[in-house]
C-alpha cells in the first residue's frame, strides 16, 4: 500500500483512470488533502462511497510524528519520528521576507563533510516523498501558518535521493494543491555533478545552491570528500553550464572555518574562481559543536573576506545567524536530539 502523500497530481489522474473513474477525482482529492487539509476519507463528501473504498484499499494515510520542538526567537526546530522509528529534523525560520522551512531529505548523510554534524550519522536510508511533504504540512498545521520558502538543505544530500526530492517539489508546487511558488524553492547540493545536470533540465525554475566551502581543489578535498569524486574545476564548469542553460543566478554557500578556508588569499582566489559566474555568495559563520574541532572565523576576518569579494565584484552576503541556541544552525542538525 502506498502512502497517499507520495502521489503527484498527475499520478492521481493516472490512478483514477486505472480504476475506471473520472480524471477530475484527482482535483477533488488534491483539494481535500492540500487545500482543505482533510485527511479522513469519510469527510470527503463529494467522492462516491465506492471510490472511497478503492482509495482506502490502495492508499495509506499515515503520518510521521512530531516528537520535540525547540524554539529560539525567530527559529523553531522540529524533531520527527518516522514510521520505522528513525528520526529527522526540520527547521523553520522567520525572515523579513517570509517564513522558510529547511527540509531534510535523508536519514543521515553519506557525504561526510568534515564540518557537518548531520553527516556524522551515516545514511540509514533515503526519505520517501511523503516524509518530506509531511514535514511541511505538519509544521504548517502545528503553527497555523503558511510557509513561503522551502530550502532542501537539512539532513541529507538531495541529489543522492533525486527522484523522491523531485516528486516532493512537484507535489508542493502543484497549483491544484499546496501551490508554493516554484521560485521560492531552493535545492542545495554538495556538488553532485550528474544531479546538477539533470536538475537544470527537469526544474529550471527552482533555485540551486552549491555548498562550495573552499576556493581551490586542495582545501575542498580536505573538508569535503565528494570533491575527490567531482573535482572543483569540473564543478565550476557544471555551474557555468547551469547558469547558461537556465539563465538563473546560482548561490554558493561558504562556511567560514578559522585557519582553513578564511584567509585573505582564499578570498582573492574565490573571487577569481567565481568572477565569470552570475552568482551570489553566502558566507556562513561556522557554528562550533562539541564533537567537531573546527573553529569559527573571527568576525573581523569574516568582514575582511566579505570586503575582498565585494571589491572584486562578487555579490556576497553574510548569513544572518539562526538558532544556534537550539542547535538548529547550519551543520548542527542532529547534534543533540536525544
Ligand atoms: S553538509 Fe550536507 S552533504 Fe555534507 S555531510 Fe552535511 S548534510 Fe551531508
Which protein residue's CA is at the shortest distance from atom 5 of ligand 1? 119
User: What distance in angstroms lies between residue 121's CA and the mean position of ligand 1's atoms?
Assistant: 10
CB of 333 within 6 A of ligand 1: the answer is no
Query: What confidence score (pLDDT) does residue 274 get?
Result: 98
CB of 29 within 6 A of ligand 1: the answer is no
Contact 44, 54 (CB under 8 A): no
Q: Which of 7, 13, 89, 134 is catalytic?
A: 89
In whole angstroms, give the CA distance from residue 72 to residue 133: 24
Which protein residue's CA is at the shortest distance from atom 4 of ligand 1? 113
In whole angstroms, give the CA distance from residue 154 to residue 263: 28
User: What distance in angstroms lies between residue 168's CA and the mean position of ligand 1's atoms?
Assistant: 20
Q: Pick the atom of ligand 1 nearest to 211's CA.
A: 1
Query: What confidence score (pLDDT) does residue 322 get?
Result: 62
Contact 234, 275 (CB under 8 A): no
In whole angstroms, give the CA distance from residue 127 to residue 132: 7
In whole angstroms, give the CA distance from residue 39 to residue 32: 7
Query: What confidence score (pLDDT) does residue 328 get?
Result: 55
Residue 151, C-alpha cell as written in the block: 530550502
Angle at which helix 232-246 crosses helix 193-202, to 10 degrees, equals: 0
In whole angstroms, give the CA distance from residue 141 to residue 125: 26
Residue 262, C-alpha cell as written in the block: 578564511
User: What distance in angstroms lies between residue 140's CA and the mean position of ligand 1's atoms?
Assistant: 26
CB of 111 within 6 A of ligand 1: the answer is yes
Give, in order, the Cα–Cα distances in Å from 205 to each of 18, 116, 178, 199, 277.
31, 28, 17, 10, 18
User: What distance in angstroms lies between residue 125's CA and the mean position of ligand 1's atoms?
Assistant: 14
102 is catalytic: no
| Bridge pairing between strands 125-126 and 87-94 | unpaired
109 is catalytic: no
Residue 310, C-alpha cell as written in the block: 565585494
Angle at which helix 9-18 crosses helix 162-173, to 10 degrees, equals: 90
Interval 8-67: pLDDT, tens: 999 999 999 999 999 999 999 999 999 999 999 999 988 899 999 999 999 999 999 999
Q: Pick the atom of ligand 1 nearest to 119's CA.
A: 5
Tell me which residue of 130, 100, 119, 212 sits closest to 160, measured CA to CA.
Answer: 119
Give, in order, the Cα–Cα distances in Å from 121 to each of 134, 153, 210, 332, 337.
22, 16, 21, 12, 12
Residue 190, C-alpha cell as written in the block: 554538495
In whole angstroms, give the CA distance from residue 271 to residue 274: 5
User: What distance in angstroms lies between residue 277's CA and the mean position of ligand 1's atoms?
Assistant: 24
Q: Which of 109, 116, 279, 330 is catalytic?
A: 330
Query: What confidence score (pLDDT) does residue 335 get?
Result: 46
Query: What confidence score (pLDDT) does residue 323 get?
Result: 58
How does DSSP assign 181-249, residue by residue?
Answer: -GGGEEEEES--HHHHHHHHHH-TTSEEEEE---SSHHHHHHH-THHHHS-HHHHHHHHHHHHHHH---
**pLDDT < 50 regions, the chain:** 335-338
CB of 105 within 6 A of ligand 1: the answer is no
CB of 109 within 6 A of ligand 1: the answer is yes
How does DSSP assign 271-286, residue by residue?
Answer: HHHHTTS-EEEEEEE-
Amino acid at each position: 500500500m502506498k502512502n497517499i502523500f507520495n502521489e503527484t497530481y498527475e499520478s492521481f489522474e493516472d490512478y483514477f483512470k486505472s480504476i475506471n473513474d473520472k480524471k477530475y477525482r484527482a482535483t477533488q482529492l488534491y483539494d481535500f488533502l492540500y487545500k482543505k487539509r482533510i485527511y479522513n476519507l469519510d469527510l470527503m463528501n463529494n467522492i462516491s462511497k465506492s471510490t472511497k473504498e478503492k482509495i482506502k484499499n490502495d492508499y495509506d494515510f499515515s503520518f510521521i510524528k512530531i516528537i520535540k520542538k525547540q524554539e529560539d526567537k525567530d527559529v523553531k526546530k522540529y524533531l520527527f519520528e518516522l514510521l520505522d522509528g528513525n528520526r529527522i529534523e526540520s527547521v523553520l525560520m522567520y525572515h523579513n521576507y517570509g517564513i522558510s522551512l529547511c527540509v531534510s531529505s535523508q536519514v543521515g548523510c553519506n557525504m561526510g563533510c568534515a564540518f557537518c554534524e548531520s553527516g556524522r550519522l551515516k545514511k540509514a536510508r533515503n526519505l520517501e516523498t511523503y516524509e518530506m511533504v509531511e514535514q511541511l504540512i505538519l509544521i504548517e498545521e502545528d503553527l497555523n501558518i503558511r510557509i513561503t520558502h522551502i530550502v532542501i538543505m537539512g539532513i541529507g544530500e538531495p541529489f543522492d535521493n533525486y527522484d523522491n526530492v523531485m516528486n516532493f517539489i512537484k507535489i508542493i508546487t502543484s497549483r491544484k494543491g499546496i501551490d508554493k511558488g516554484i521560485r521560492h524553492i531552493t535545492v542545495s547540493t554538495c556538488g553532485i555533478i550528474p544531479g546538477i545536470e539533470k536538475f537544470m533540465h527537469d526544474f529550471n525554475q527552482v533555485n540551486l545552491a552549491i555548498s562550495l566551502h573552499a576556493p581551490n581543489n586542495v582545501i575542498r578535498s580536505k573538508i569535503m570528500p565528494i570533491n575527490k569524486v567531482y573535482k572543483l574545476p569540473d564543478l565550476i564548469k557544471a555551474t557555468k553550464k547551469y547558469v547558461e542553460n537556465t539563465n538563473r543566478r546560482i548561490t554558493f554557500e561558504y562556511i567560514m572555518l578559522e585557519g582553513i578556508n578564511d584567509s585573505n588569499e582564499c578570498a582573492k582566489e574565490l573571487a577569481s574562481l567565481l568572477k565569470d559566474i552570475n552568482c551570489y555568495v553566502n558566507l556562513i559563520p561556522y557554528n562550533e559543536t562539541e564533537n567537531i574541532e573546527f573553529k569559527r572565523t573571527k568576525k573581523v576576518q569574516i568582514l575582511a573576506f566579505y570586503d575582498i569579494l565585494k571589491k572584486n565584484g562578487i555579490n556576497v552576503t553574510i548569513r544572518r545567524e539562526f538558532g544556534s541556541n537550539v542547535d538548529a544552525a547550519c551543520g548542527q542538525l542532529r547534534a543533540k536530539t536525544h
